[in-house]
Amino acid sequence: MNITQSSKGDNLVSIKINVEKADYEGMVEKTLKQMRQKANVPGFRPGMVPMGMIKKMYGASAKMEALNTIVSDSLNKHIVDNKLDLLGYPLNDTEQQQPTDLEKDDSIDFYFEAALRPEINVDFTNTMVDFYHIVPTDEEVDKVVEDLQQRNPDTSHPETVGEDDRLEIKIREAKNGKEVEGGYEKDGVFFNMSQIKNKTQRKKFIDKEVGSEFVVNFAKVFGSEEEAAKVLGNDAPVAGDFNIIIDDAIRNEKPELNEDFFKKIFPDKEIKDLDAFKVAVKAEMEKQHEVETDPILFNKMIDELVAAVHFDLPDAFMKRWIVENSQGKITAEDAEKNYEKDYVKGLRWQLIEDSIVKANPELIINDEEVKNFVLRQIFPGIDYATLEDDMKANLDKIAANYLKDEQQVNGIKNQLADIKMTQFLKGKMNINFAETTAADFMKKLEEEQKTK
């Protein structure tokens, strides 16, 4: 057997594999003997069919099987031994392959065409991307401050019930103003005063002292038996009366914008006044806008690199490769028609990205990063590094169970790879940031979409 390789230009090589009879005849004989043992031919006992008959019946298929195995193994070995960095897998070289007569030809030539990855030099200094830095308006900052107050109220437990309090009560089934012995009872029932729509019913609770005990009909209190069941539970006899005891009144009030509140929102910062607090809020808003717009910037950076980094693609080969790897879903006509629009950018970016990652191995996503990502998703806010060993072990088990899904793991790796590559490119490429508002950014984005 002899293997030779020659250049076809444009990052293409031709690989010729010559297979002689001595290379495959042993495999063919072994296969035919196995077939003889299994052959079921009328007039002959199993294993006693004449070998000449077996060769006539199965010789061509046994030879083809042996040739396929030898050629495949030899091609793979040639690729590894010669350290060929290929685009996809080699295809049959239809230009050079000659017709073969399996029965007559002892020496057979097989031709393959392979595409080599081009040498790529990414020069970030010659790139330029125009993008936007979203700066929140004063009104937007004030709105977020207001929202933070609403979501982080001061909580107190007043002695008497107010209009907007949340109550914790005990309930005991009652009849004629008295508790029913052995009747339905439940502790730790919560509801908001805002759930009581009827003014008359609300008056029964307003200004009542914590610890008060009185009889109510919850179907009347909440307006219907259905609404009462949502509070008391579907097993409660909501149509009847209940004796209730108010265990607690919980009052949420808008907090003052003082140092205690600032510390609650930004525990790691020393903020003394409202102006400094708004500056901190604004900075966090800008960070969030950056996270939200980074995927758009990433696509723009990809477009710039695809346009700026020049190298030749073996287009004819790639079109054939797309068709042969589509499992019959794409025709040669489709590939020819849609190659530039649907494939070229993706192919070029994949090669550029591979080149960048090869030169910067820190961009490769490792298993530890995937695990940490999963833990952050399941347990947001937990500082893994500060946990006790037994807690770490429990979290590791949860993450390991989650990561058994290979498809899910690949999705996470792709997501993390994009995030990592985005930050890397932002540090390498020339980006011209223009300040804008969130509203204007959306308008500009819509305008860009219309022009595509």
Q: Which domains does the chain have, with CATH numbers?
A: 2-115 (3.30.70.1050), 154-253 (3.10.50)
**Residues 113-138: tens digit of each pLDDT:** 999 999 999 999 989 999 999 999 99
Between 210-214, 238-242, 306-310, the lowest mean confidence (pLDDT) is in 238-242
**Residues 307-323: tens digit of each pLDDT:** 999 999 999 999 999 99
For 425, the token pair is 């490119």
User: Which class for 169: exposed (0-12), middle (13-18), buried (19 or more C-beta within 10 A)?
Assistant: buried
Q: Are 253 and 156 in contact (CB under 8 A)?
A: yes
Average pLDDT over all residues of the chain: 92
* β-bridge mates for residue 110, sequence order: 17
pLDDT at 181 over 70: yes
**pLDDT range class, residue 241, cuts 50, 70, 90:** very high
Q: Are 325 and 24 in contact (CB under 8 A)?
A: no
pLDDT at 192 over 80: yes
User: Which class for 104: exposed (0-12), middle (13-18), buried (19 or more C-beta within 10 A)?
Assistant: exposed
Write down the residue that tokens 């396929």 correspond to.
68
Provide the 3-class DSSP secondary structure of residue 396: helix
Mean pLDDT for the stretch of residues 393-413: 87
The pTM score is 0.79
**Residues 404-452: tens digit of each pLDDT:** 888 888 999 999 999 999 999 999 999 999 999 999 999 999 988 887 6
Instruction: Determine the Cα–Cα distance for residues 219 and 240; give it in Å rounded to an integer.
Output: 8
Q: What's the pLDDT at 452?
A: 67
For 136, the token pair is 């929140």
Provide the 3-class DSSP secondary structure of residue 86: strand
pLDDT at 235 over 90: no
Ramachandran angles phi, psi of 253, nearest 5°: -125, 150
Write down the residue that tokens 């190659």 correspond to.
339
Q: Long-range pairs for 255-264 at CB < 8 Å and ≥24 separation?
A: 255/149, 255/152, 255/153, 255/154, 256/154, 257/145, 257/149, 261/149, 261/152, 264/152
For 135, the token pair is 């700066």
pLDDT at 84 over 70: yes
Instruction: Determine the Cα–Cα distance for residues 188 and 229; give it in Å rounded to an integer.
Output: 15
- Where are the strands (E) in 102-254, listed by range? 108-115, 129-134, 154-156, 166-175, 178-179, 185-192, 213-217, 241-253
Instruction: Determine the Cα–Cα distance for residues 75 and 89; give it in Å rounded to an integer.
Output: 10
pLDDT at 355 over 80: yes
Q: From the centroid of its chain, how far is CA 67?
A: 43
pLDDT at 396 over 80: yes
**Residues 300-311: tens digit of each pLDDT:** 999 999 999 999
Strands 241-253 and 166-175: antiparallel
User: Which class for 370: exposed (0-12), middle (13-18), buried (19 or more C-beta within 10 A)?
Assistant: buried
Buried b (16+ CB within 10 A) or exposed e, 5-26: eeebeebbbbbbbebeeebbee
- Where are the strands (E) in 198-264, listed by range? 213-217, 241-253
Q: Which among 396, 145, 159 has a CA at the least distance from the CA of 266? A: 145
Ramachandran angles phi, psi of 434, nearest 5°: -110, 130
Cα→Cα distances 230→109, 195, 200, 442, Å:
80, 11, 21, 42
Q: Which has more confidence, 266 or 1?
A: 266
